[in-house]
């Protein structure tokens, strides 16, 4: 669990990132979750772009957090950043 200062720092880093994954109208497929999981293993911080409505985005964020064991460090509009520390 990250504290607010850590989340603030990660949000700043995420602003300069390009979106690593795009969630389209099909939603969260197993393939998309697997790709996101690989990106989190490699980079720790991944930006995700959504093509969903507001409620769909909230649901997708919670689902991504649960399925990838990551934490959403911030979301603005249709973009969210997820963090998961590398396993040592």
87 has a pLDDT exceeding 80: no
**Looking at domain 4-83, what is its CATH homologous superfamily?**
YhbY-like (3.30.110.60)
58 has a pLDDT exceeding 90: yes
Q: What's the confidence (pLDDT) of residue 35? A: 96
Both tokens of residue 41?
Answer: 């293993």
C-alpha 63/C-alpha 82 separation (Å) is 12
DSSP secondary structure letter of residue 18: P
Between strands 45-50 and 21-23, the pairing is: parallel
Q: List the beta bridge partners of residue 50.
A: 23
C-alpha 21/C-alpha 88 separation (Å) is 25
Tell me the pLDDT tens digit for each residue of 12-41.
999 999 999 999 988 899 999 999 999 999
Total-model pTM: 0.94
At 10, the pLDDT band (50, 70, 90 cuts) reads very high
Q: What's the confidence (pLDDT) of residue 8? A: 96
C-alpha 43/C-alpha 35 separation (Å) is 12
Domain ranges within the chain, ordered by starting residue = 4-83
């Amino acid at each position: 669990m990250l504290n607010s200062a850590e989340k603030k720092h990660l949000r700043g880093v995420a602003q300069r990132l390009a979106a690593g994954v795009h969630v389209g109208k099909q939603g969260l497929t197993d393939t998309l979750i697997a790709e996101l999981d690989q990106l989190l293993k490699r980079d720790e911080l991944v930006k995700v772009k959504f093509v969903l409505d507001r409620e769909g985005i909230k649901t997708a964020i919670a689902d991504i957090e649960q399925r990838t064991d990551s934490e959403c460090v911030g979301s603005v509009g249709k973009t969210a950043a997820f963090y998961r520390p590398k396993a040592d």
